[in-house]
Chain A
Amino acid sequence: MNPQIKEKALSVLKGLVVLFFWLAVWAVIAHAVNKELILPVPLEVAKRFFVIIFTLEFWQIAFASLLRIIIGFVGGMLAGILLAVLMNSNKFAAALLAPLIKVVRATPVVSFIILALVWIVSNSLPVFISFLMVLPVAWANTLSGIENTDRQLLEMASLYKVKKLRIWRKIYFPSIQPYLLAAVSSGLGLAWKSGITAEVIAAPRMAIGSELQAAKVYLESADTFVWTIVVVIMSIILEKIITALISRRQAKYPAEEKL
């Protein structure tokens, strides 16, 4: 067998073993508890999963939540990157904005949700909350990337009077790519968690969070599990797609070495 295929097959097998192990742990605990309301058995959740995902409404709800998270995430990433660039090039802007970002980082997400409920319509709230949670992550990572850019390369560019925009494009951007990748990975997880939490509290129409809230109210524990599993799956798929897109571009830039 081709060694690459063999390695891939082994990795899939390992993943399946891990999955079945945790499913077995879940099943054992569920049988021990023996109360579907507290912890439904995996088989029941699987049955509900297949019932729910074969409805048109499921796809509409999943798409609506996905859209909100993506808008919030992309907005937060762009704003974080722009703020980092601005704060790096302007000391006054840095002094002005740094406390604001520190406050956003330290404030519990639920405080923002409750405050924002007063200001924003429920449909936009998850977008705003995801945006707010992703922004400091993108800002901090971009700033680290900028600060860790090789000073010697910047000196060289300055000596040769390379224009500022080209320095950003050709030196800073390739240097900060690994930092952006890390920001994408942690920012996406945050966007999902905070966005769905905001949906639970704001209960907009067509939202996974609203479905989770409804499942709780109607004591449908299996549905709570199904929607949670849906969020996890969608989060993983989205992260894989975005990191693959960035990595494809990053492949052009081999790891930096002092040359």
Chain B
Amino acid sequence: MTIEINKINVSFEGKYILRDFSLTLPESGVVCIFGPSGCGKTVLFKCLSGLIKPNSGEINGLKNKRMSMVFQENRLLPWFDAAENVALVVNDNREQAMAALAKMELASEADKLPAEMSGGMLHRVAIARALAYNGDILLLDEPTTGLDAELAIKVMEILIKSWQGRLILLITHELALAQKFADIIYTVEGPPLQIKEKSE
């Protein structure tokens, strides 16, 4: 079932971030939203994930869908180690958490606190958390921040393999990454967010 975003509006302090924004997303594949920082891409993601309720308009096709999301900030709990951070989203199932960390080549770092890890490692823990939750849709907001080019490609390949047959939405400002992995690229500008170009 496709996802229909139908004329949604989101404004903050009188400024429109999304204005009558419409878009149809496929059931599966990798869709990239490519555009500069601050144009409203993350707000669109937050609407899709239910973290922001649009002022008006509707989003259809998301009922009962579980979302995995990799945020721009890693949003890890500083008082829990890597394994506990991942296990948080799978009812403390440590086995599942360890499997996801192993996919991110972090099994040996499982008992490290976030303060003891590098930026790249923290980002991979956040990706492992999204992997462990295994949502119906994967939202990736700048997923390769802090990773070197080789590792970024490896991580994207793992994610695409894990989400086969499901939808991945990718926000990035790295055109090379978008071109390498996305089935559809929407080039956007804003705010308010507007689609400038669609390429497949």
Q: A152-B73, A161-B66, A170-B88 are in contact. Are A259 and B49 (CB under 8 A)?
A: no
Closest beta carbon of chain A to B111's beta carbon, Å: 13
Residues of A within 8 A of B79 (CB): 174, 252-254, 256
Say whether, besides A254-B115, A257-B115, A259-B114, A159 and B76 are in contact (CB < 8 Å).
no
In the complex, B160 has a CB within 8 A of chain A: no
B184 within 8 A of A: no
User: Are A155 and B51 in contact, CB atoms less than 8 angstroms apart?
Assistant: yes
A-chain residues with CB within 8 Å of residue B76 when the two chains form the complex: 259
The answer to whether A218 has its CB under 8 Å from any CB of chain B is no
- Check if A257 sits within 8 Å of B77, measured CB to CB: no
B80 touches A259 (CB 8 A): no
Instruction: Assess whether B106 is interfacial by the CB under 8 Å rule.
Output: no
Contacts of B68 in A (CB 8 A): 160
Q: Does B168 interact with chain A (Cβ within 8 Å)?
A: no
Contact B51 A160 (CB under 8 A): no
Shortest A258–chain B CB gap in Å is 7
Chain B binding site: helix, strand, loop or mixed by DSSP? loop
Question: What is the interface size of chain A, counting residues whose CB is below 8 A from a CB of the partner?
Answer: 22
B169 to chain A, nearest CB (A): 14
| Residue B3 CB within 8 A of the other chain | no
Do residues A162 and B88 form an inter-chain contact, with CB atoms below 8 A? Answer: yes
Restricting to A239-259, which residues have a CB under 8 Å from any CB of B? 252-259
B88 touches A159 (CB 8 A): no
List B residues 104-122 near A (Cβ within 8 Å): 113-115, 122
Among B47-104, those with CB < 8 Å from A are: 49-51, 66-69, 71, 73-80, 88-89
Q: Give Cα A213–Cα B7 distance, bound, in whole angstroms.
A: 76
Q: Is A171 an interface residue (CB 8 A)?
A: yes
Q: Do residues B49 and A159 form an inter-chain contact, with CB atoms below 8 A?
A: yes
Decide yes or no: A159 and B50 within 8 Å by CB, A257-B78, A259-B76, A259-B78 being known contacts. Answer: yes
The answer on a CB contact under 8 Å between A171 and B77 is yes
Does B69 contact A159, Cβ atoms closer than 8 Å? yes
* Cα–Cα, bound, A223→B67 (Å): 70
| Chain B residues with CB under 8 A of A259 | 73-76, 78, 114-115, 122
Q: Is the CB of B51 within 8 A of A158?
A: yes
- A67 at the A/B interface (Cβ < 8 Å)? no
In the complex, what's the smallest C-beta–C-beta distance from A179 to chain B, in angstroms?
15
Contact, CB under 8 Å: A159 / B51: yes
Rank and list the top 4 A-B pairs by shortest CB-CB distance, nearest first: A253-B79, A160-B89, A156-B75, A174-B79
A-B CB contact pairs (8 Å), 21 listed: A152-B71, A152-B73, A152-B75, A153-B75, A155-B75, A159-B50, A160-B133, A166-B88, A170-B88, A171-B77, A252-B79, A253-B78, A254-B78, A254-B79, A254-B113, A254-B115, A256-B78, A256-B79, A259-B76, A259-B114, A259-B115
Excluding A155-B75, A158-B51, A253-B79, 15 further A-B contacts by CB distance (< 8 Å) are A153-B75, A153-B77, A156-B71, A159-B67, A159-B69, A160-B68, A162-B89, A166-B88, A170-B88, A174-B79, A254-B78, A259-B74, A259-B75, A259-B78, A259-B115
